[in-house]
C-alpha cells in the first residue's frame, strides 16, 4: 500500500512539474519574456516540489492519524513515536504549502483569462481587484482552518496517548473543498462572454470551450474526494493520493490554454514555412511571406495581443491577381500577409497581396 501510494505521489508530482516547466519554456521561446502568470507558475513549482518531499516522509513514516483498531496492532517504540511525530508535523507544514499551490494556480488562470478574454482596461481592472480580494480572503480562510481544529495545538503531532478525531481534519477538508469549488466556478465564468460572442465555426468554439472548461475536472475531483476522505478519515495514504490527483489536475487545467496556444503558434509557423516554400501554380514563379502589421480583431473592435491571436480565429480575405476579393475559410492563428510576385510572358510585373490566416 505504501509503495503504491508513493509511486502515485511522485508520478503525479513529477508530471505536474513537467507540465509547468513546458509552459514556462513555451512562453520564454515564443515571447522572450515572462509575465505575472509565469512567476506564479514558478512559485507553484516550488510549492509542488516542497510538498513532494514532505509527503514522501509522511507516507513512509506515518502520522498520529491512526484508527483505534490499527493502534492495537502497532508497537509504539520510541523510534516509532519519533517517526510518527515528524510525519504529523510535516502533515501540518504541508497544508499551507499545498493551499498556496492551489491558489497560485488560480492566479495563473485568472491572469490568462483577463489578458486574453477581457481586453477592455476598465473591465479588466475591476475584475482583477474583485477576484483578488475574494482569492486572498478564501486563501486566508483555508490557511486558518488548517490550524484551528486541535486544541491544544500540540495534539496535531501527539502520538501517545491518542490525540482524538481532530487530527482527521474533517472540517479543514470540507472548508478547503468548498472554497476551492467556489473560486474555480468564478474562474470558469470569466471567458464565457467572449467565447459565446466569438464568430467562429462551431468546432473551433467547442475546442476553445473545452480547453477553458478543464477546470470542471478539478471541481469533480474535489466533490468526489470529500465523501471518500470522510469514509477513510484515519487513512493518510488515501488523503495524500487524492491530493496528488488534485495537484496534477490543477496543473493540466491551468496550463492547457497556454500550451494549446503554443501548439497553434507552431502549427501556424509550420504551415507558413510550407506555403512560403511551395511554388504557386500558373504565372507565379516565386513566393515570399512578410509579416503583416494588421492584428486580428476582438469582437469589440480591439486588436488582439500576440498571445490572444494564438487562440482565436479570423476570417480569411484574399486578393487574387484579377483584383477580386475572395472570402476564405476560418482557421486559427495570426494574420500573415503574403505577397506573390511573378513576371508574365510580356515582362510585366504582376503582384497580388493575399491576407491569409495560417
- The pLDDT-based confidence of 60 (bands split at 50, 70, 90) is very high
Task: Specify the higher pLDDT residue, 310 or 333.
Answer: 310
Q: Which of 50-59, 113-122, 315-324 has the lowest mean pLDDT?
A: 315-324
pLDDT the model gives residue 273: 66
181: pLDDT strictly greater than 90: yes
Give percent above pLDDT 70 in the chain: 75
Q: Which of 38-52, 166-180, 313-327 has the lowest mean pLDDT?
A: 313-327
Task: Specify the higher pLDDT residue, 115 or 310.
Answer: 115
Cα 199 to Cα 117, 131, 190, 291, 300: the distances in Å are 14, 28, 18, 24, 12
- The pLDDT-based confidence of 337 (bands split at 50, 70, 90) is very low
Report how far Cα 225 is from the mean position of its chain's Cα atoms: 20
Cα-flanking dihedrals φ and ψ of residue 286, to 5°?
A: -145, 155
Establish how many alpha carbons lie within 13 A of residue 171's alpha carbon, considering only the half-sphere containing its beta carbon.
12
- Write the burial class of residue 14 (CB in 10 Å: 0-12 exposed, 13-18 middle, 19+ buried): middle
**Global pTM value:** 0.77
pLDDT the model gives residue 41: 96
Task: Specify the higher pLDDT residue, 302 or 184.
Answer: 184
Question: In this structure, how many other beta carbons lie within 10 angstroms of the beta carbon of residue 338?
Answer: 20
What is the set of domains in the chain, with CATH numbers?
2-267 (1.20.1070), 278-357 (no CATH)
Q: Which of 4-8, 9-13, 255-259, 275-279 has the lowest mean pLDDT?
A: 275-279
Task: Specify the higher pLDDT residue, 268 or 195.
Answer: 195
340: pLDDT strictly greater than 70: no
**Angle of helix 78-117 relative to helix 121-145, nearest 10 degrees?**
170
- The pLDDT-based confidence of 127 (bands split at 50, 70, 90) is very high
The answer to whether residues 179 and 142 touch, using CB atoms and an 8 Å cutoff, is: yes
Amino acid at each position: 500500500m505504501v509503495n503504491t501510494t508513493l509511486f502515485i505521489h511522485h508520478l503525479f508530482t513529477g508530471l505536474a512539474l513537467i507540465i509547468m516547466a513546458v509552459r514556462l519554456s513555451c512562453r520564454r521561446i515564443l515571447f522572450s519574456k515572462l509575465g505575472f502568470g509565469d512567476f506564479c507558475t514558478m512559485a507553484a513549482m516550488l510549492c509542488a516540489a516542497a510538498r513532494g518531499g514532505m509527503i514522501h516522509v509522511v507516507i513512509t513514516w506515518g502520522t498520529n492519524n491512526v484508527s483505534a483498531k490499527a493502534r492495537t496492532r502497532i508497537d509504539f517504540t520510541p523510534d516509532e513515536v519519533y517517526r510518527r511525530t515528524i510525519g504529523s508535523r510535516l502533515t501540518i507544514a504541508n497544508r499551507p504549502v499545498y493551499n498556496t499551490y492551489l491558489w497560485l494556480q488560480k492566479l495563473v488562470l485568472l491572469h490568462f483569462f483577463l489578458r486574453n478574454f477581457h481586453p477592455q482596461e476598465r473591465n479588466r481592472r475591476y475584475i482583477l481587484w474583485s477576484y483578488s480580494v475574494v482569492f486572498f480572503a478564501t486563501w486566508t480562510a483555508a490557511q486558518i482552518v488548517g490550524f484551528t481544529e486541535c486544541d491544544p495545538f500540540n495534539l496535531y503531532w501527539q502520538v501517545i496517548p491518542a490525540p482524538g478525531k481532530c487530527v482527521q481534519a474533517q472540517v479543514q477538508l470540507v472548508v478547503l473543498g468548498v472554497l476551492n469549488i467556489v473560486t474555480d466556478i468564478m474562474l470558469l465564468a470569466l471567458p464565457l462572454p467572449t467565447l459565446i460572442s466569438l464568430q467562429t465555426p462551431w468546432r473551433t468554439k467547442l475546442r476553445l470551450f473545452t480547453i477553458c472548461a478543464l477546470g470542471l475536472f478539478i471541481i469533480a475531483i474535489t466533490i468526489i474526494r470529500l465523501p471518500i476522505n470522510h469514509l477513510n478519515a484515519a487513512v493518510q495514504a488515501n488523503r495524500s493520493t487524492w491530493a496528488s490527483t488534485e495537484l496534477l489536475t490543477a496543473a493540466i487545467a491551468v496550463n492547457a490554454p497556454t500550451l494549446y496556444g503554443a501548439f497553434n503558434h507552431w502549427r501556424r509557423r509550420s504551415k507558413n514555412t510550407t506555403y512560403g516554400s511551395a511554388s504557386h501554380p500558373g504565372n507565379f514563379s516565386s513566393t515570399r511571406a512578410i509579416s503583416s502589421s494588421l492584428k486580428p480583431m476582438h469582437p469589440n473592435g480591439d486588436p488582439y495581443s500576440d498571445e490572444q491571436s494564438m487562440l482565436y480565429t479570423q476570417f480569411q480575405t484574399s486578393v487574387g491577381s484579377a483584383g477580386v476579393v475572395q472570402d476564405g475559410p476560418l482557421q486559427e492563428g495570426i494574420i500573415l500577409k503574403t505577397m506573390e510576385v511573378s513576371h508574365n510572358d510580356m515582362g510585366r510585373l504582376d503582384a497580388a497581396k493575399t491576407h491569409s490566416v495560417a
